[in-house]
Structure 1
């Protein structure tokens, strides 16, 4: 008998279901207050473990687990989880203590992780565990997430500066001049830290909801995420750490396309003015950046190039008055 089977048998032998009984009993209390005299009221039941005393249930599936039978069932189960979050987490922790089957361990651990959240807390005093491992200068969650985004932008700027040795010697001064213009622009917008800051008032300027939920925008060659990845780094410490693995992916690649094209534009400008703001947009703004889960980050060659019509500024035409 393998671990999964033993685990299922052990859970089925328990007299009281640890997880669902919490949700069901609380829901039963609420519904009993609305029951009609003389008529039994049976709330919908969805088991995660063994069957508890109550009304008839759907036929159990593999390992004795009764699965939700419809969308409303799942919706009710989710509602129960949310309304009795603390009790469900405690029950899951008790089950996890004796659990040996890897698959069930994973399910329980994920459940505990997803429900052990303090999303609305913002200040360090309200969620000290979230700040474990961070520098003491960070006093609230938004300031750290803003700093995290700023650090990425600074990293991109370092890569642009690091390309100087590859620029033609005759064009290096002009290239450095453009770097200075970009740096000033970045400073003026505070390194676009607003992208990760849930307190940003302008909704279009941030990549998350007001509660801090981020959604994967999908690979560079898709309009959306096929797996519907999402994360809230404001919720708990583990999510904060995992969010660091998400990428701000350049659709037109930074190293393969944008930076080399900028260097070439400076070299061959021949009196023309390089449209540095176009390159700035490609390097540091959402015009060319997508937030993606690590599984959606394709490191293959994107085979995309800069718009040749936007590399140089259009010259102003002058007309002589005769």
Structure 2
């Protein structure tokens, strides 16, 4: 008697590197591998087949349970992690951007799910990126609402950073005006002037937002991407927030909600510590460089997405050993730094 002859069944197969699918009929895994490797011009040695959907390796036993026209991926030395690998493959090159934009727009037009519409809108927002354009003439839309004196994105972003950091001086000036004792107020005014001069000499640290600056001076990549550095009490952002305000007008506006957050707090801790130090010491005894770094530099500033910005008390203190200059004799009366 003749043994039972298994019937060949149709499958869709593709390689890891190419998303083009081919129809292959096979009655078992071995036949599928032989035909697939020949069709895709891949070596048979070490080859195996995985489900396109989730990367599950297809064994002979599992093969028998697969429905007709199941989408499969033929792997050799590389591994397949499921559909997410397609995303990784697309993101490795900009050549697919146009196709992705058209596909996302097409899907968005018919999509009813609010959640999926949000995903597609976010995808379009990031794909339609004009960050490589720099001047007003090249990307006029980006400059909508921006003063005409700014001719490039980098100069405006530098100004944006300068404006934020300049505002910290206003907080110090307000605290100075609130000091009741005349001598102490005068000392605070002198300290404020010195800090202002230091800040001016550093061009208000506007380089932090300027992508044309050196790597060590800016907070972004040379393309203009910023990454959230996490809340004051974390070493990094758990949500991996990122944004490129150079890419579009919308991104530029959204970036204004990101914070340059003081780890040791400006109003609650740094400024009160400076004022208190000046209560019983001359301004020349104070280590203004230490306070300058806490107020205006990345030594104490973190760029933080609004979601990661914790507005409660940080409970971090100034270092008493750094408040005064070490080369000057301190007065005998000690102060308590809150």
Query: TM-score, normalized by length of structure 2?
Result: 0.73
Larger C-alpha radius of gyration, 1 or 2?
2
Distance 1:45 1:207, change over 3 A: farther
Shifted more, 231-240 versus 148-157: the winner is 231-240
Shifted more, 224-233 versus 162-171: the winner is 162-171
Distance 1:91 1:272, change over 3 A: closer
Tell me which residue corresponds to 2:212: 199
The 1-side partners of 2:274 and 2:328 are apart by 22
Distance 1:161 1:211, change over 3 A: same
The question of 1:40 aligning with 2:54 is answered no
Tell me which residue corresponds to 1:116: 128
**Larger RCO, structures 1/2 (Cα 8 Å, 6+ apart):** 1
Tell me which residue corresponds to 2:336: none
Distance 1:46 1:248, change over 3 A: farther
Q: Cα RMSD between the aligned structures? A: 3.0
Distance 1:93 1:156, change over 3 A: same
The 2-side partners of 1:251 and 1:193 are apart by 19
Distance 1:272 1:216, change over 3 A: same
Query: TM-score, normalized by length of structure 1?
Result: 0.76
- Structure 2: tracts of 5 or more residues without a match: 1-15, 22-34, 43-49, 54-67, 73-80, 330-338
Deviation at 1:71, TM superposition (A): 5.8
Alignment size in residue pairs: 271
The question of 1:279 aligning with 2:291 is answered yes
CA-to-partner distance for each residue in 1:14-64, whole Å, 9 max, x for gaps?
xxxxxxxxxx9x9649xxxxxx9x9434999979xxxxxx97416xxxxxx
Tell me which residue corresponds to 2:146: 134
CA-to-partner distance for each residue in 1:273-295, whole Å, 9 max, x for gaps?
11112111110011111111111
Relative to its length, the structure with more helix (as a share) is: 1
Relative to its length, the structure with more strand (as a share) is: 2
Distance 1:315 1:41, change over 3 A: closer
Tell me which residue corresponds to 1:180: 193
The 1-side partners of 2:310 and 2:196 are apart by 28
1:255 to 257, 264, 267: 267
The 1-side partners of 2:281 and 2:131 are apart by 51
